[in-house]
Structure 1
Amino acid sequence: MNTIHVAGGVGVADTAMASYDAALADANLHNYNLVAVSSVVPAEATVEAVEAAPDLGPAGNQLTVVEARRTVGPDDAVDFREGGRAGAEDAESKRAPRRRPDVAAGLGWATGPGPGLFYEVTGEDPDDVRERIEAGLDAGSDLRDWELPDREVHVETAAATPDRFTTAVVIAAYGESEPIL
């Protein structure tokens, strides 16, 4: 493994799993069995952001990943009155309108001499996701006392779709896939 490819995608479908699969397809990572690991970048690896992952081996292989994933469905509307957000009040009911949340998934990485770190965050606001990624990378590098000056962030966003599930993913795929059997 020399290169870790970071790719993101968005999917919309009738079920949560189908929207996740569609988001993986958007990132070209849908034909692998993903094996999640924690967030350390090996010292000998390079991290490369790509629009879609290249071919990383045969379908059905296992692929080591760090993943940020958020899915919202038809029942995930936000009530402004309960959620404390500002919104126009409905004159008839005196209730704040309900809205579908946005979907944001982000992955940041920090590298330098030696090993590095990934940090994954999900939420509704892409700016908030970016801020929390930066804070997480700072905390992780401070905890390890590592100097990690080279940083990047990839955030995928989508407006949730009424009556369907919407998923955003950002995945760091470590090297090539390997046979699972």
Structure 2
Amino acid sequence: MDIHVAAGTARAPTAMAAYDAALADANLHNYNLVPVSSVVPADAEVRSVERAPDLGPAGNRLTVVQAHGTASPADARETERVVAGLGWATGPGPGLFYEADGTDVDSVERTIGEGLATGADLRDWTFDGEEVRLASAATSEDAYTAAVVVAAYGESEPIA
């Protein structure tokens, strides 16, 4: 199974509209996202992509791990950025995802690294590769700002 990791950012008049537009930027806006915790199946290959490929018909269910952050226009007076990040550690067997969000790129990246290290310590698995994908956008006093990073597991499936 391929797991596609895509990122997006956007601005819109409401928090939900900004989130939806950020998903559109990643080409993942037409699915019903079903979040799972953090484990990468042993047979999966994680691929970072500019935008997710077509993963099936609109309205289908799509299993994901996602990081997302949203800043309101009022937040823009206190913070300059919204950041979402997703990291993963893989090896010859199962792997892990770890997601974080915040207002500082370095802090989000550090949190991801600490989370992956802690998750690895809890398991008797071998990890030989680690990657991080971040999405960051400047906040605006005129609109909500959203950033997302989504790992989409395989193809979408019908809901019913």
TM-score computed with the length of structure 1 as normaliser: 0.86
Tell me what 2:115 maps to. 136
Displacement of 1:120 in angstroms is: 0.2
Q: Percent same amino acid at aligned positions? A: 65
Following the alignment from structure 1 to structure 2, what is the Cα–Cα distance between the partners of residues 63 and 101?
32
Tell me what 2:96 maps to. 117
Displacement of 1:74 in angstroms is: 1.5
Residues 79 and 103 in structure 2, CA contact (< 8 A), matched pair in contact too = no
Residue by residue over 1:51-95, the C-alpha shift from the partner in whole angstroms, topping out at 9 and shown as x without a partner, is 000000000000000000000111224xxxxxxxxxxxxxxxxxx
**Secondary structure of the corresponding residue to residue 176 of structure 1:** coil
What amino acid maps onto 2:10 in structure 1? G
Residues 27 and 52 in structure 2, CA contact (< 8 A), matched pair in contact too = yes
Q: Does 1:48 align with 2:60?
A: no
**Secondary structure of the corresponding residue to residue 122 of structure 2:** helix
TM-score computed with the length of structure 2 as normaliser: 0.97
Following the alignment from structure 1 to structure 2, what is the Cα–Cα distance between the partners of residues 128 and 73?
20
Residue by residue over 1:102-128, the C-alpha shift from the partner in whole angstroms, topping out at 9 and shown as x without a partner, is 100000000001100000010111111
What amino acid maps onto 2:83 in structure 1? A
What amino acid maps onto 1:70 in structure 2? G
Tell me what 2:18 maps to. 19
Runs (4+) of structure 1 exceeding 3 A deviation are 98-101
Q: Does 1:30 align with 2:37?
A: no
Structure 2: any 5+ residue segments left out of the alignment?
A: none
Following the alignment from structure 1 to structure 2, what is the Cα–Cα distance between the partners of residues 11 and 20?
7
Residues 160 and 166 in structure 1, CA contact (< 8 A), matched pair in contact too = yes
Aligned match for 2:85, one of 72, 96, 106: 106
Residues 100 and 161 in structure 1, CA contact (< 8 A), matched pair in contact too = no
Residues 69 and 170 in structure 1, CA contact (< 8 A), matched pair in contact too = yes
* Within-5 A mapping of 1:1-181: 2-77=1-76, 98-181=77-160
Residue by residue over 1:126-164, the C-alpha shift from the partner in whole angstroms, topping out at 9 and shown as x without a partner, is 111111111111100111122212010000000101121
Residues 12 and 143 in structure 2, CA contact (< 8 A), matched pair in contact too = yes
What is the Cα-based RMSD across aligned positions, in Å? 0.9
**Rg larger in structure:** 1
Following the alignment from structure 1 to structure 2, what is the Cα–Cα distance between the partners of residues 135 and 99?
26
**Secondary structure of the corresponding residue to residue 69 of structure 2:** strand
Structure 1: any 5+ residue segments left out of the alignment?
A: 78-97
